[in-house]
Amino acid sequence: MGIFTENLTNLVNVHLNMLYFASLKKNYMIDKKHIIDRFISYVTIDTESDPNSDTTPSTEKQWNLAHALVKELTAIGMTDVSIDQNAYIMATLPSNVDHDVPVIGFISHFDTSPDFTGANIKPQIIEKYDGKDIVLNAEKDIVLSPDLFDDLLQYTGQTLITTDGNTLLGADDKAGITEIVSAMEYLIQHPEIKHGEIRIGFTPDEEIGRGAHKFDVEKFGAEWAYTMDGSQIGELEYENFNAAAATVKIKGTIVHPGYAKGKMVNSMYIATEFINSLPLLETPEHTENYQGFFHLASIDGSVEETVLKYIVRDHDKDHFNARKEAMHQLTFDINTQYEREVVTIDIEDQYFNMKEKIEPVMHIVDIAAEAMLAVNIKPLIKPIRGGTDGSQLSYMGLPCPNIFAGGHNFHGRYEYVPVESMIKATEVICKIAELTALRK
């Protein structure tokens, strides 16, 4: 390299560094009422998914929000807006810089969990939360209390959106959609904020584990992406559970109870043996952080047949495999004890820890952490005790860490979201776009 070229390179680097640090100091002006109105318009559309359906999306009603989102994305000025036959939505915010910048993406899902009803959601807005109990439903005595949910106290003085106690809220993940759409709209309205090409994607059926199954990574065309699907403000996650679902079937023999001696085999008693033979303290209610578990999700039993549905989770791949092997060994041991096949088990892997795919490209996590610090948020880097579309997408070739969307107490009547957290998440998206354009 010649002296002239070297000096020119140094000048360019100094200029880029000045732009970089200047960008860190810029504040965004996200309209609070606009965020609230957009979020409420989404959550009042029922999009509950159905694990027993074979279609994509799994429920017809998911199309209602999907079509509304396509219209909205077109209206705010996004390009290449598309929706496919399975309701996967994609759109583009074109680059406004004249140098090469990696194409990045932001992804959220629009279905809500079938764990609790999402029909007829009536959001309640709590201005300047005072740190006390929030009565969600006086008639049914349903109260959102910091005595039980102490995370509430970190949002004292802020605006909360809650349920009316009869439904979930749908912040998982309509808060994420609100933030992505609002960030894209803000960047369109503020062309002085420099960014590369940004792709966004909205998916159905994430809550039943199928959100990424038919996601076209090649069509999406991003080098990496972020799911906006975390919980409390500051969360930044690139590790999640390895996950499997297990179905255990126990066969019994039914005869008249008055003549049952030596003949009847009660499958429910054998099911109890199976349940009690797994580690009783390795269940969700006794574990945290990196600890895995066996979770008995449902029982359907009679004398003649009992079916147990488990989910198996562990961050560590070897421990995960050991848990599955333990269930197979237990099945073998019980069958040996009864001298015939009374128990069968089917274990199906669902998703894997995305850490393995993210660690080689940790700069994408670093950018998100820098963006949070730039908008005065302390990053909370921690493992996800669950799954995310980002896990499957990472294994499909799209590295995809997870960023907070702001909600708490997902999948139930006590779900809530601070509006200020949604505003900050919107700012983080804008800042990631800026920093990606400024970094070498």
Catalytic residues: 111, 206
Rg of the chain's alpha carbons, rounded to an integer?
Answer: 25
Is 229 annotated in a binding site? The answer is yes
End-to-end Cα separation, the chain, in angstroms? 19
CA dihedral 122, 32, 174, 383 (to 10 degrees): -120
411 labelled binding-site residue: yes
Whether the bond between 57 and the residue before it is cis, its omega within 30 degrees of 0, is: yes
Query: What does the block give as tokens for 226?
Result: 């972020």
Show the DSSP H helices in 103-245 as ranges. 171-189, 217-220
Strand ranges (DSSP E) for 367-412? 380-381, 402-404
Residue 216 labeled ligand binder? no
Residue-level length of the chain: 440
CA-based torsion, 142, 146, 149, 151: positive or negative: positive
Give the CA angle between residues 287, 243, 278 to the nearest 5°: 50
- Angle subtended at Cα 382 by Cα 90 and Cα 223, rounded to the nearest 5 degrees: 30
What separation in angstroms does the CA of 340 have from each of 302, 328, 331, 346, 351?
19, 15, 11, 18, 33
- Lookup result for tokens 């005072």: 130
98 labelled binding-site residue:
no
Nearest residue to 235 (alpha-carbon basis) of 182, 295, 176, 156: 176
In eight-state DSSP terms, residue 58 is S
* Residue 172 among known ligand-binding residues: yes
Residues tagged in the binding site annotation for Zn(2+): 109, 172, 207, 229, 411
Residues tagged in the binding site annotation: 109, 172, 207, 229, 411
